[in-house]
Amino acid sequence: MASAVETGKKLAAYQAVNDYITPEHKVVGIGSGSTVVYAVERILQRPELKNIVYVPTSFQSKLLIIEGGLTLGSVDQFPEIDVTIDGADEVDEQLNAIKGGGACQFQEKVVAEAAKKFVIIADYRKKSTKLGIEWTKGVPIEVVPMAYKGVMKSLETKLSLKPQKSTLRMAVNKAGPVVTDNGNFVIDAHFGAIEDPTSLLKEIKLLTGVYEVGLFCNMAEIAYFGEADGTVSTLKK
């Protein structure tokens, strides 16, 4: 039997697709992660959505689109996207999010920013009053490999909010660090509760060697959460 978490992910994803993707749409962004698998599953159940071009945020979502027999597009072909649906590692009460647990934050942000509407789908464990409380693995920071040591030092010395811990993310079944789809490394920096994610994002982004930061601030229009009791709750701007 499916766990409450998996059921929650599926319900949230199905509801978001039902509410936000219509046959009138021309281009839709498809995010990364386990919840997005259910979004694509729901799209495939609706033949009227077959004529839309789908833009992936990662190799994983590209495969989901291809294997589902959907039309694959890229953000350079389609710089304007009708709606992007993506998961999140944590969402606060202002709809700011931490993303990049799967190391796809750069492409996720490009596709989210290209969209007229950005929709988050997640399970109830991802809801938080402030970022950094529930998701304690840290804010994912994608860095150019040659600069990672300098960035780690700058995180300790140049930010107004110091990280409690920052680590270079290591691969599981490969010797050495995780390498992103863009050929970069990922530093996970845990700050504890983040009072002002927008300011922190700006400060980290200015550090030389930083490619992208997994803080998504003032971007989402709505978040769907699959609850433990089988219902779906929403958080709207």
Give mean pLDDT, residues 143-160. 98
Are 118 and 148 in a shared domain? no
Residue 134 has pLDDT above 80, yes or no: yes
**Is 50 inside a domain boundary?**
yes
Q: Does residue 108 have an active-site annotation?
A: yes
pLDDT bucket at 1, cuts 50 / 70 / 90: low
How many domains does the chain contain in total? 2
pLDDT digits (tens, 9 = 90+) for 14-72: 999 999 999 999 999 999 999 999 999 999 999 999 999 999 999 999 999 999 999 99
Which member of 90, 108, 203, 212 is catalytic?
A: 108
Are 122 and 149 in a shared domain? no
CATH number at residue 65: 3.40.50.1360
Q: Is 183 exposed, middle or buried (0-12, 13-18, 19+ CB in 10 A)?
A: exposed
**What is the C-alpha separation between 202 and 199, in angstroms, rounded?**
5
Helix (H) or strand (E) holding 15: helix 4-20
Are 123 and 151 in a shared domain? no
CATH number at residue 184: 3.30.70.260
Are 98 and 84 in a shared domain? yes
- CA atoms within 13 Å, Cβ hemisphere of 159: 27
- The confidence score (pLDDT) of residue 2 equals 75
Are 184 and 203 in a shared domain? yes
Structural domain that includes position 35: 4-129+217-236
Give this prediction's pTM: 0.96
